Amino acid sequence: MTINKNSQFWMEVESGKTITVNGNEVPVCYWNLNVLRGQLKMYNVGLKPNRHWKISDVKKYFGFKGNNDELLGLVEGLIKEFKG
């Protein structure tokens, strides 16, 4: 499993950009990780989150390489790191 540190996701991590969710400020990168976790779980059982969704777009945005199971494990590991 390799990670590209020049991807859009890692630029958002460094920028500290946030969005408001239910009145709380949440980093955009953390929000996207949580959404992706649900999407990958759907994809791993054979469902596409929507008809335009592509795993290659996800890999490009996050800078990941690997198969679906490796991606899910990596995303869950990153979520644990963000929760600290």
What does the pLDDT look like over 43-69, one tens digit per residue?
A: 999 999 999 999 999 889 888 888 888
Amino acid, res. 51: R
Distance CA 30, CA 64 (A): 16
| pTM, to two decimals | 0.82
Task: Dig out the tokens for 17 from the structure.
Answer: 């950009």
- Domain boundaries in the chain? 2-83
Whether 1 has a pLDDT exceeding 60, the answer reads: no
Q: What local confidence, expressed as pLDDT, does residue 64 receive?
A: 86
Contact 66, 1 (CB under 8 A): yes
Banded pLDDT at 2 (limits 50, 70, 90): low
- 20 CB contacts (<8 Å, ≥6 apart)? 26
Question: How does pLDDT run across 20-42, given as a tens digit for each residue?
Answer: 999 999 999 899 999 999 999 99
